[in-house]
Amino acid sequence: MRRFDYFAPQSLAEALAVFQDRGEGGRALAGGTDLVVQVKEGGKIAAPSYVVSLRRLPELRGIEFSERDGLRIGAAVTMAEIAESPPIRERYRILADGAEIVGSVQTMNMATVGGNVCNAAPSADTAPPLLACEAAAVIAGPN
């Protein structure tokens, strides 16, 4: 396994600053269920020079629902949190069902919706329900 620098910023602004300062070669880490495996496989798919943990960023956590604004799911929300969320189970059942079939209990407790969608794996079990629910993604970046 190739060595890499690890950053654990305390805010989304700090995380974006790391990516901006370090440039290409970095990878975001939240649940790690795909990235860790890819790195351990000798970097055939992922050989980052640095990793930025997004796991505890408050801006990427939480599930919020209001009648006016609809549903907001942070990218670092786990599949288990989605599957167990009352507003999702009541109003977006197809998404709860997709989150429930992601994998084992251990995987559900680690895998995040952001990673599930952005990893582009065939096993992205939340992508079809999100599309069916006409979800929109909000992307953060330096601009």
Q: Which of 61, 58, 32, 36 is CA-nearest to residue 46?
A: 36
pLDDT at residue 125, rounded to an integer: 85
Spatial strand order of the sheet with 26-29 comes to 5-7, 50-53, 26-29
CATH class of 59-132: alpha beta
Of the pLDDT bands very low, low, confident and very high (cuts 50, 70, 90), residue 103 is confident
- 58: exposed, middle or buried (C-beta count within 10 Å: 0-12, 13-18, 19+)? exposed
Confidence of residue 118 (pLDDT cuts 50, 70, 90): confident
Instruction: Report d(CA 104, CA 44) in Å as an integer.
Output: 25
In whole angstroms, give the CA distance from residue 111 to residue 109.
6
Task: Select the CATH number that applies to the domain covering 5-57 from these four: 3.40.1050.10, 3.40.50.300, 3.30.420.40, 3.30.43.10.
Answer: 3.30.43.10
Which has the higher per-residue pLDDT, 107 or 79? Answer: 79
